Structure 1
């Protein structure tokens, strides 16, 4: 009898365990969207949705059979929302369209600046296939044009391109790595920074290597896409942009910076015709002290960083001269503090909000969330007195021998 019930229980267990496979789909029957583009349509209350669908035979064991095939298929349709567009693509695709591997969402700047964009992106999270880890990018041109023109020379698979670019963003700090999850966490008045990109060119030459926006970098060859700077979003709507330098600074003065180190250049204080390049390393969390009980609001920020000097074109003796070392250290601190205060003023005056997540420190001073909302953080921030201090420690000065001085020419 025990054996009978044991067999009966095992049979029912197998049935229950296999019921979850009823809606399974074979891989070869699915069309994996790797990039999704959103644009404003010519007709009101419609959007143009572009799907970049991966070709499963490229970069696989069957690659020899698909030598003349494109790595992806790009389809654009007009629809009221993303889900309707997803269904409409099935009119031309034989495989079931899925967002299971989607990791990049590109929004055209024209659409990002409209009030409709908020409703479009908010409703997108309903789809369980749309992962919140998906990277968000705002393109200057239409998202469809961006996707069509983005043909990286070194990567045949588009999904690999975005995967590798994501690793580079962590090491440069020239863009603010943003995804759906971070975007949704921003409440009404807070500012969100989204990656800014373009395939257009409006090249300019700056002496400071990071003061560019996407499309301005003087690039003569290479991949058509440039990603540098940030699109500033407020209330799920684009209201402006930051260049690469401003984006880096915004990430640096956050309490927990998403970048650990990057290379930057600074004016040589003893020879201002040249700039000194150094690796900047975040030496711990930024210390933020918010005093909401004072009028006006006071915010004190202390940023600990370490520097490793990489190049010294002016050949000023910083290696063995301690006096020169002190001058360089104080000069870099002043340059960083000046840039930080300039950015803070811009966010207060132009955007009337802050992207540094300082409101999290302010919330600790209130008993309830309702009290904090009543305080109106954005309004007080616009009139706040902000003090920013950089604590710079120089680890090394590059060359370990005394530099050879340059002989002045007759022209000098």
Structure 2
């Protein structure tokens, strides 16, 4: 009896220890933190690996004082997984995607038919997580990764992690991951991806701060990378771009959005030479009603918003005058509605598809998926009659109720 118990215990121990046969120590692995994809000749893809140096930026940095924070290598291969194997012929450690959170794709490659095949086949590797962020670069991805040398972040993965949090705060770019890309591959909707660049494009100064694309922001010094606006995908291929302002509108018109507020400036209705800065907050879900019984669908959208006035450079006393408050509220509301109507018209004429996820609402009007597919929502959306109603209320005017006195009045009172 005792021998049987001992044999059973030994068998259990053997089973527990058997799981360590494929273990690898940390120093035996090379963790890829950023992946780049570019077009290559003969139908190949150029894959760039940015491999992090775990010693730089850690408590063990004394042993790596003269080592760079990462190593960047590029290979041409049929797909990502074969490039990963080729990389092991140069990099002595085993390549791992366990910490990969960012994929940079060049605009030229994202616009090609090959892109969807390459990115679709990559998820067969269990290390390729669907939460990985997608960034579309104006230039080649290898150039984007090489030139991105942030001054305040030593470790490259931390830079992208912190920037992602800021993107969600501002709403200048969408929340784009591999999973969302695969969800929106159909003809019914457009997929919006983060758009960035390290190159500058000469452009005129915009009166409002969000009317730029990446590379157009007037910047002096600082990090070379600019992130602004979205790359637009239709049926798995990039077909255009939209600005930071248009990206904010697209996110707000969705029934639910991850960006709940943003700060923007609007014309001062009582003094057109100045702008009024406000934080616009989404006050609940966007309400969408559709009538699909006609050939030209009727779509009624209600967008509930509240505004916090942050800055009034004209010194107009809006806080204590209800009539002026109403003029300001109506001015912001009308300005925003005009931008929304123009953007919707642009989407209908240019893409014949929508990035607002309204197809999820349209789908509920059909009993079967086959009936919905036969309806062809994309074709009907392009000719739909869309009316957007904004319901905005001004919530506050900041901590200081009264505006500061103009400079000449202050001088008179001081005298």
Question: 2:11 matched to which residue of 1?
Answer: 12
CA contact (8 A) 1:35 1:105 kept: yes
**Aligned partners of 2:13 and 2:182: how far apart in 1?**
41
Q: Which runs of 5+ in 2 are unaligned?
A: 410-415
- Secondary structure of 1:339's match? helix
Higher deviation after alignment, 137-146 or 288-297: 288-297
Moved more, 20-29 or 323-332: 20-29
Structure 1: how far apart are the matches of 2:12 and 2:283?
55
Q: CA deviation at 1:13?
A: 2.6
Q: What does 1:107-186 align with in structure 2 at a 5 Å threshold?
A: 107-186=105-184
Moved more, 208-217 or 19-28: 19-28
58-67 or 98-107, which deviates more: 58-67
Indicate conservation of the 8 Å contact 2:315/2:403, yes or no. Answer: no
Post-superposition CA distance 1:34-90 (Å, at most 9, x none): 00000001x121010000000111012221221221100000001111011111111
> Could you say which residue in structure 2 is the equivalent of 1:326?
326
Deviation string, structure 1 residues 256-302 (Cα, Å, up to 9, x no partner) = 11112221111111111111001111111111112222331111111
Unaligned stretches of 5+ residues in structure 1: none
* Structure-1 separation of matches of 2:403 and 2:128: 58
Task: Give the distance between the partners of 1:81 and 1:185, measured in 2 at CA.
Answer: 22
Q: What is the distance in 2 between the residues matched to 1:173 and 1:386?
A: 23
TM-score (norm 1): 0.96
Equivalences, count: 406
Tell me if the contact between 1:291 and 1:362 (Cα under 8 Å) persists in the aligned partners: no
C-alpha distance in structure 2 between counterparts of 1:301 and 1:11, whole Å: 68
The TM-score, its normalising length taken from structure 2, stands at 0.95
Distance, in Å, in 2 between the alignment partners of 1:275 and 1:9 is 79
1:318 CA drift (Å): 0.6
Deviation at 1:402, TM superposition (A): 5.0
What residue in structure 2 maps to residue 235 of structure 1? 235
Counterpart of 1:195 in structure 2 is 194
Secondary structure at the aligned position of 2:365 is classed as coil
Q: 1:76 aligned to 71, 74, 77, which one?
A: 74
Of stretches 156-165 and 268-277 in structure 1, the one that deviates more from structure 2 is: 268-277
The separation in 2 between residues aligned to 1:49 and 1:200, in whole angstroms, is: 21
**Runs of 4+ residues over 6 Å off in structure 1:** none
Pair 1:354 & 2:330 matched = no
Give the alignment's Cα RMSD to 1 decimal. Answer: 1.5
- Alpha-carbon spacing, 1:18–1:294, altered in 2? closer, same or farther (3 Å): farther
| Residues 1:102 and 2:103 aligned together | no
Secondary structure of the residue aligned to 1:362 is helix
User: SS of 2:332's equivalent?
Assistant: helix
Tell me if the contact between 2:304 and 2:391 (Cα under 8 Å) persists in the aligned partners. yes
Report the Cα distance in structure 1 between the residues aligned to 2:6 and 2:317, rounded to whole angstroms. 85
Corresponding residue of 1:298: 298
Q: In structure 2, how many angstroms separate the alpha carbons of the residues matched to 1:226 and 1:298?
A: 39
